Chains A and B, each alone.
Chain A
Amino acid sequence: MGSTEIRRMELGRELRALAELSAPGAPEPRLAAAESFRRRRSSRFLGLCLAAGAALCVGIPLAQRGLGPRPGLERALASEAAAEFAAAVLGPRASGPAGLDAEIETYLVALWDSD
């Protein structure tokens, strides 16, 4: 041994051969499309929640003022101002007794409770 012989390598060809060797099998476009739709839906949903949260931020101080010193989510949700703000921001998703879409309301309640 002890030889320091340098072997030549054609970089482009070797890189391509290595990439071909370890490239994945068949594509799964249906799965990819489904995942892409799921993410889009979920980011739109989170956007709506954010808007609903903003509506609550407007509603909470008003609920506090009108309903005493202990603000709570339910009071804020019941606040007319929050409902109006939510309706303005969320459009058709702002429905239901609290002025918020039930799905969003559930999410916000879960967030509130987890704090």
Chain B
Amino acid sequence: MAKEGVEGEAELAARAGGGDSAAFDELARRLWDRIGRYAAAAAAGDPELASRIAQESLVRLHAALPRFRGEASLGTFVYRVCAIAAADAFRRLARERRRLGPLPEEEELPSPEPGPEEAALRGEAAAALRRALGRLDEGERALVYLKEAEGLGVAELAESFGIPEGTVKSRLFRARAKLKAALEEEGYGID
């Protein structure tokens, strides 16, 4: 079942790369959840930045699809595009901040819908995780996210980020250690 979906996406990608705009629309709809989650993770939960990264990823995907030959999986190809879009968004953000001067303390992002107790506890954990993620750079966040939440292996991560597997391993190790330390300060241990 899942395989059928994947084949459908590769076929859509080929048609979209050939200039079929309806195929691109459909492909964008199918990939959007993955792109959106990646963007949100890279943006450390900042919805506005996540939205910019996701839309930029779509623009770059449209431009890159004619070059998609199916040698890599479409999934890693898409994450590679997202990684470039995210890096670009952060470079722009840094330029904007340099131009505008230092910003006041980062505003705390709103916690997710605080409902009754369980929601409050989950909200607390999410806020702690968001703060801890903020201590990582965008590339580290994306790496940890794809490994831990999307279950990508080292080889797929290497392909997605265009770096050797050894580098993936060492960056992952460092990023996870940073995140662990930051979460411990917040009173959380990770499984």
Q: Which residues of A are in contact with B by a Cβ distance under 8 Å? A: 4-33, 35-36, 39-40
Contact = CB atoms under 8 A, between A and B. Distances in A.
Nearest to A36: B62
Interface of B: 21, 24-25, 27-29, 32-33, 35-41, 43, 45-47, 50-51, 54-55, 58-63, 109, 112, 122, 125-126, 128-130, 133, 144-145, 148-151, 179, 183-184, 187-191
Nearest to B121: A7
**10 closest residue pairs by CB, A with B:** A23-B36, A29-B28, A32-B58, A36-B62, A19-B37, A24-B51, A16-B149, A12-B148, A15-B149, A27-B32
B188 A31 contact: no
A23 B112 CA distance: 12
A61 to B, nearest CB: 38
Contact of B25 (A14, A20, A21, A30): A30
A24 B50 contact: yes
A19 B179 CA distance: 16
Given A7-B188, A27-B32, A28-B58, 16 more contacts: A8-B190, A9-B191, A10-B191, A16-B149, A19-B38, A19-B40, A22-B50, A23-B36, A23-B40, A24-B39, A24-B47, A26-B32, A33-B24, A36-B60, A36-B62, A39-B59
A14 B129 contact: yes
A11 to B, nearest CB: 4
17 contacts: A6-B184, A9-B128, A10-B190, A18-B126, A20-B37, A20-B40, A22-B50, A23-B39, A23-B54, A25-B51, A28-B58, A29-B24, A29-B62, A35-B59, A36-B62, A39-B59, A39-B63
B54 A24 contact: yes
A28 B27 CA distance: 12
Contacts of B125: 7, 9, 14
Q: Main secondary structure on chain A at its contact with chain B?
A: helix
A8 B188 contact: yes
A32 B32 CA distance: 12
Nearest to A30: B25
Nearest to A9: B188
A35 B191 CA distance: 42
A9 B124 CA distance: 11
Contacts of A18: 40-41, 45, 126, 129-130, 133
A65 to B, nearest CB: 44
A18 B40 CA distance: 8
